[in-house]
Chain A
Amino acid sequence: MAPLEAASVTVEFAGLRALDDVSLTLGPGEILGLIGPNGSGKTTLVNAMTGQVPVAGGTISLGDAVLTGRTPREIAHAGVSRTFQIGRHFDNLTILENVATAALGKGAPVRVALERATALIEEFGLGRRLDDLAEVLSYGEKRRVEIARALAGEPHYLLLDEPAAGMNEEETESLIEILAMLPKDRGLGLLIIDHDMGLIMRLCERLHVLASGRTIAEGDRRTVRDDPAVIEAYLGSGSGDA
Chain B
Amino acid sequence: MNPVQFVLDVLSLGGAYALMALGLVIVYGILRLVNFAYGELIMVSGYTMFLVSGSGLPWLAMAGCGVIMAIAAGIATDYLAFRPVRAKSVTAVLITSFAFSTLLQNAALLFISPRPRAVPLPELFSRTVEFAGVITPVRNLITIAVAVIMLGVFSWLMRSTALGIAMRAAATNFRMARMMGIPANLIISAAFAISGLLAGAVAILWIGRIGTVVPGIGLQPLLIAFIATVIGGMRSLPGAVVGGFLLALIDTALNYTLPQDLLKFRDAFTFSLVILILLWRPEGIVRGPASGQRT
Contact = CB atoms under 8 A, between A and B. Distances in A.
B289 A91 contact: yes
A210 B181 CA distance: 30
B165 A153 contact: no
Contacts of B160: 110
B181 A88 contact: no
A105 B180 contact: yes
Interface in A18-70: 50
A234 interface: no
B178 A97 contact: no
B290 A101 contact: no
Contact of B290 (A93, A97, A135): A135
A71 B168 CA distance: 22
Given A105-B181, A105-B182, A110-B160, A100 B165 contact: yes
Contacts of A187: none
Contacts of B182: 73, 101, 104-105
A73 B187 CA distance: 14
A98 B180 CA distance: 10
Interface residues of B, number: 23
B288 interface: yes
Contacts, number: 74
A237 to B, nearest CB: 39
A97 B180 contact: no
Q: Which of A50, A100, A102, A105 has the most CB of B within 10 A?
A: A105
Nearest to B166: A104
Contact of A97 (B169, B176, B179): B169
Interface of A: 50, 71-73, 76-77, 88-93, 97-98, 100-102, 104-107, 109-110, 113, 135, 149, 153
Given A73-B178, A76-B180, A104-B182, A97 B162 contact: no
B262 to A, nearest CB: 41
Contacts of A88: 173, 176
A106 to B, nearest CB: 5
B282 interface: no
A105 B168 contact: no
B179 A93 contact: no
Given A91-B291, A92-B236, 16 more contacts: A73-B184, A88-B173, A90-B169, A90-B173, A90-B176, A90-B289, A93-B165, A98-B169, A101-B180, A104-B180, A104-B182, A105-B180, A105-B182, A107-B181, A149-B180, A153-B180
A76 B162 contact: no
A174 to B, nearest CB: 25
A101 B180 CA distance: 7
A64 to B, nearest CB: 21
Contacts of A102: 180-181
Nearest to A92: B289
Interface string B172-213: 110011111111100000000000000000000000000000
Contacts of B177: 90, 101, 105
Contacts of B183: 73
Nearest to B237: A92
